[in-house]
Structure 1
């Protein structure tokens, strides 16, 4: 069974990349460091012929993001020492290193003063492009000294003239990501985006196989809703640094993710979302050419697809959420149709193998951690797994598909909706204490997939059955189902869906109706808080990073404009707190555990403090657990173990 300790001890496969000859995969696998305080990655060699995996790098460093040069040598990001006394902070800054094909010690290729965020290598050319932070107005040779001086002596001032100013767990810094071109040997450095400013933060990008062009998301705020558009800029790797880029999809109230160059470098596939007044945004899988002409590839397909890779010149591989799975599909680039692959579970991180040998990627299920796979035609093959996982560890856990009729139709006048999900049960006939675990997002889903942060198996080993429902607002059930939470309706159909699921669970013989509890994080925390003021059904509640006072939340989250668009209101216009949990605090009866990270800027910790104060003032049994060094997610291994132990201890005490 999976305990908190075992969950953090397992090797964590992050990604796999095939060698140019298609004979083996380079894999990045995370493990605990020597101090049991953080995760670091090693690189592994996984043969495609069924051979035994072999570790390629080892030591205290974080070696990740494997990429192959066309000569077969393996490059990667690492924070390993440079062979000299490192400057302060250097251990946090990654550079590109190369592991020669014929063996030997890794050799550093870059020396970006603020480190490298990400990099790409051209498949058919000796070109490398990196994404690296650069201080504005500071010469390249002075960047490192400037960063050190500001860090040690200040000033620490950050000055803004427009939103957004924070993201996730950080204030937007003065330094910004730039695209820097090199030869594949790390020579002839050229800044392709000297005027980047904030444009390329947290966006997708790609390098063409011939090394001639880069496509990258470019952020700008130009519309009255003050939500950033992300259009695609195509830059010439060898052109003048100040040349104007080719613009794709600019000015359309849209955002582009996961751009992927076609093998000839003349087309770009991307996922595009387009904002619409009063409605949930539209989602399309789009193909652009370099003239800006576009073709929608998923017309009439009621799923949201995201590009993975090109299988060949005419076929794109995409992933999509589908009724609790993250599936793969082959998409014809001429718009002639979609071939859905029949495999259940969760799949992604795909790369094509040479000469039509299929493709490889990473797959997982609720009972199987991430593992490399190869798919040839319609035949799936799981590859050797060096993570240390043994299937017998969950042999006694039963997974059951759930489906309950909801009181609300998907669309007005239609048939009642079906709310699907999963139920994981511990050994024995029961009745079991049962946890209703509500996912975040809200535009997301529980999938038949392994989750390192929110893993239900840890609660199962503690004796709980765990239900994972996908109520209104979830993906994988079609656009109209997802739109059921849009337009200030968070507390409506989604709430009734969750109550329908809890009704269905309570009626089961293997569920102890008197020991039914609810838990959620982020939007799931919000729904847990909403349940607390609306029903006495649950014997206990656990709220992680949950929203409490929606009017106060609007001004302090890092995404206020998007939150306002979702709910068609602001604190000064409309009823933004129409479904705010704080309005029902006087009706709250169930004991509750509140958990939060202090560095959370998505749902700031003030929500937890306000909630705890309100519940204490109203005499509600309530406990507060705070992680001062964590953000929206509890990621450090010791903290993650403490999170699970705290939750299990609280539930055990309240259900005793």
Structure 2
């Protein structure tokens, strides 16, 4: 459902985009100027249309960090191999003001940088151990040789201790652990909920933070900070090293945990940030009384202040995300963004500790913002929040600050991620990496345009519209309504390896992607309005958007389709029963079809309780399980539908897809089931993704 916080890292690999024409990455993306439905400019090209194979051959660029002098960038590039069906990631260094990159690593396996020391040496994690290399990648030296692999490592500032995570057996729920004389048995026994999550069953093992002394490449015995309790830290299933932090004096550790188990765990989002004193072993809760998600603790460069991200409401995973500030030793917790009508994605401190930079969705993009940190924490006169970037692009991450600007990662709907300089004075992006320039030089452009529609309640509804290469407004094109998942995740300038709107348009389709009710970037109320109203205004928004676009002469209204995944898949199932003849084809991936059986089988019940209102046996939720339940509209299904379902999807379990396909088959509707037994809510295997794309376009060719 909604993917927030630590899930975002994984989502950026599988689903993110941008806007505008597919320019060379050295070009500066233009600032957004929103006008009412201007004409699409046709840009002819003799370059070839993007294919699924091309998409997976692109380098996947990530910014690691800046060198201490702020002059060089270390970044990673993962390259997928069709032969091995895996991606290999290596590190490079390049001057941020321009120059040729230098490879730092070429060995098989991924490296993660932990720090760059005062001598310029790079300390990194490789195959579960610490390594060291020179600034140019030379003289690689293994520092540790541990029996178990180290994960989520954070070195203490004084370099005397290591904080890391390790899986610990807490509850014997799997039969080989419970009955050791039956090692070949495979039985799970549960007495409570939270017995499975995302794509795996709880085997009684929990990831815990450990701290150990470190000297001359030797680790001392690790201390379990959760003392064998049935809690996860980092958070499951997507948490990482961002859930850990060292105090600047190396005397204390911060870690994020939801200290709940069973039903309480499944019903709550209340994570807290805990302070562990290294000398005494005492633990205190820094976020006591704050009942939603509290994550990403980060000390200021000076070290006297702590900031973190916080949601207010327990059980509401898509609540407004705020930046909280606390002085060391002070009980006052100041919400820096309480007065601001949007939600924060991620933040970083300025080098002098006087500002915090952050990213947030705004009007169909993700942009940079800054907030001044007050000298004294007080709720009077909260600091001004300023948007400092504007353009038809997403800022997907902040790598670091240099003299005069920030180094960031950025995408567009027609451009995969690269690393850029963002200059504070010119307010422009300049490319540092150009990993995929050669590939895009041979890929045909797909024009992208913003469009406003009046929704049924009179509100302005914004959509991105992506057009085929060599778009000719005198011709007619089949057109697809893209339905976003979440439901409270934004449609911005993302770039995806699966739901790639550029790829879909490249096959000759117009794609419209509305910012319907429930998406961040248009105010907190707009984002919240979808909860409890899944089949109401958001579905009307989708119909308004496609009806408005259908007034254009170049849209072939006899060849309209609707596609989407997760809540987008639910939307497809709903639209199939209420579209009144608009659509000729549907594709639903891991969509919710029967809200009653879904409530009875999904794992994160806090989400179901918030967005559906609660269980099906509560009469107060009748509308959710009747009018807003796709299964109740099956008698009106009248168009071909393809159902895609992952076998290891426990968020939207397999029964949802099977029920929908079986219903369509028994009603005599042309339908197809694409079953991926080893995939979860996403499609992570490259070969499986190729099959996914081929079946996707084969279905559209047959039905549109």
TM bin (shorter chain):
0.7 to 0.9
What does the per-residue CA deviation read over 1:358-377, in whole Å, with 9 as the maximum and x for residues that have no partner? 33221111122111112342
Mapped to 1, the partners of 2:200 and 2:424 lie a distance apart of 44
Which residue in 2 is equivalent to 1:4? 52
What does the per-residue CA deviation read over 1:619-649, in whole Å, with 9 as the maximum and x for residues that have no partner? 1111000111111111111111111111011
Contact 1:69 1:184 in 2 (8 A): no
Mapped to 2, the partners of 1:403 and 1:513 lie a distance apart of 19
Q: Find the residue that maps to 2:100 and give its secondary structure.
A: coil
Structure 1 alignment gaps of length 5 or more: 80-93, 139-145, 409-415
Alignment counterpart, residue 327 of structure 2, candidates 276, 289, 298 = 289
Mapped to 1, the partners of 2:688 and 2:139 lie a distance apart of 35
Distance 1:553 1:69, change over 3 A: farther
What is the correspondence of 1:274-423 to structure 2 with a 5 Å cutoff?
274-275=312-313, 281-290=319-328, 291-311=330-350, 312-334=352-374, 335-344=382-391, 345-353=393-401, 356=403, 358-379=405-426, 380-387=429-436, 389-394=438-443, 396-408=445-457, 416-423=458-465
**RMSD between superposed Cα atoms in Å:** 2.8
Mapped to 2, the partners of 1:282 and 1:365 lie a distance apart of 25
What is the correspondence of 1:158-173 to structure 2 with a 5 Å cutoff?
158-173=188-203
Per-residue deviation, 1:49: 3.4
Q: Find the residue that maps to 1:407 and give its secondary structure.
A: coil
Alignment counterpart, residue 471 of structure 2, candidates 399, 405, 428 = 428
Which residue in 1 is equivalent to 2:4? none
What does the per-residue CA deviation read over 1:261-302, in whole Å, with 9 as the maximum and x for residues that have no partner? 212333222221122799984542211234442101113211
Mapped to 2, the partners of 1:102 and 1:653 lie a distance apart of 54
What does the per-residue CA deviation read over 1:346-388, in whole Å, with 9 as the maximum and x for residues that have no partner? 113313346x553322111112211111234244322032345
What does the per-residue CA deviation read over 1:524-548, in whole Å, with 9 as the maximum and x for residues that have no partner? 0000010001112111000001000
What is the correspondence of 1:588-603 to structure 2 with a 5 Å cutoff?
588-603=637-652
Per-residue deviation, 1:559: 0.8
Distance 1:418 1:635, change over 3 A: same
Distance 1:108 1:191, change over 3 A: farther
Per-residue deviation, 1:100: 3.5
Per-residue deviation, 1:133: 1.7
Which residue in 1 is equivalent to 2:225? 193
Q: Find the residue that maps to 1:533 and give its secondary structure.
A: helix
Greater relative contact order: 1 or 2 (C-alpha under 8 angstroms, separation 6 or more)?
2
Higher normalized strand content (fraction of residues) = 1
Alignment counterpart, residue 501 of structure 1, candidates 525, 531, 545 = 545
Alignment counterpart, residue 523 of structure 1, candidates 557, 567, 577 = 567
Q: Find the residue that maps to 1:253 and give its secondary structure.
A: coil
Distance 1:35 1:106, change over 3 A: farther
Mapped to 2, the partners of 1:185 and 1:383 lie a distance apart of 37
Per-residue deviation, 1:593: 0.8
Contact 1:259 1:269 in 2 (8 A): yes
Matched, 1:446 2:484: no
User: If the length of structure 1 is used for normalisation, what is the TM-score?
Assistant: 0.88
Q: Find the residue that maps to 1:397 and give its secondary structure.
A: coil
Contact 2:104 2:137 in 1 (8 A): no
What is the correspondence of 1:508-547 to structure 2 with a 5 Å cutoff?
508-535=552-579, 536-547=581-592
Contact 1:529 1:581 in 2 (8 A): yes
Matched, 1:262 2:303: no
What does the per-residue CA deviation read over 1:580-603, in whole Å, with 9 as the maximum and x for residues that have no partner? 101111110110111111111111
Contact 1:117 1:130 in 2 (8 A): no
Which residue in 2 is equivalent to 1:99? 133
Distance 1:276 1:309, change over 3 A: closer
Per-residue deviation, 1:520: 0.3
Distance 1:325 1:432, change over 3 A: same
Matched, 1:577 2:628: no
Q: Find the residue that maps to 1:25 and give its secondary structure.
A: strand
Mapped to 1, the partners of 2:190 and 2:143 lie a distance apart of 35
Which residue in 2 is equivalent to 1:207? 246
Mapped to 2, the partners of 1:248 and 1:227 lie a distance apart of 18
Which residue in 2 is equivalent to 1:143? none
Mapped to 2, the partners of 1:537 and 1:341 lie a distance apart of 42
Contact 1:269 1:307 in 2 (8 A): no
What does the per-residue CA deviation read over 1:36-93, in whole Å, with 9 as the maximum and x for residues that have no partner? 41112111112223111122212432334564344422233333xxxxxxxxxxxxxx
Matched residues, number: 619
Alignment counterpart, residue 480 of structure 1, candidates 518, 525, 530 = 525
Mapped to 2, the partners of 1:571 and 1:473 lie a distance apart of 22
Mapped to 1, the partners of 2:296 and 2:160 lie a distance apart of 21
Mapped to 2, the partners of 1:172 and 1:158 lie a distance apart of 9
Mapped to 1, the partners of 2:425 and 2:283 lie a distance apart of 40
Mapped to 2, the partners of 1:307 and 1:266 lie a distance apart of 21
Contact 2:194 2:265 in 1 (8 A): no
Report the more deviating stretch, 579-588 or 394-403. 394-403
Mapped to 2, the partners of 1:623 and 1:580 lie a distance apart of 21
What does the per-residue CA deviation read over 1:546-597, in whole Å, with 9 as the maximum and x for residues that have no partner? 0000110012112123212221120221324131101111110110111111
What does the per-residue CA deviation read over 1:99-124, in whole Å, with 9 as the maximum and x for residues that have no partner? 244644533344555533322345x5
Which residue in 1 is equivalent to 2:167? 134
Mapped to 2, the partners of 1:589 and 1:455 lie a distance apart of 27
Contact 1:371 1:385 in 2 (8 A): yes
Which residue in 1 is equivalent to 2:35? none
Matched, 1:220 2:224: no
Structure 2 alignment gaps of length 5 or more: 1-48, 375-381
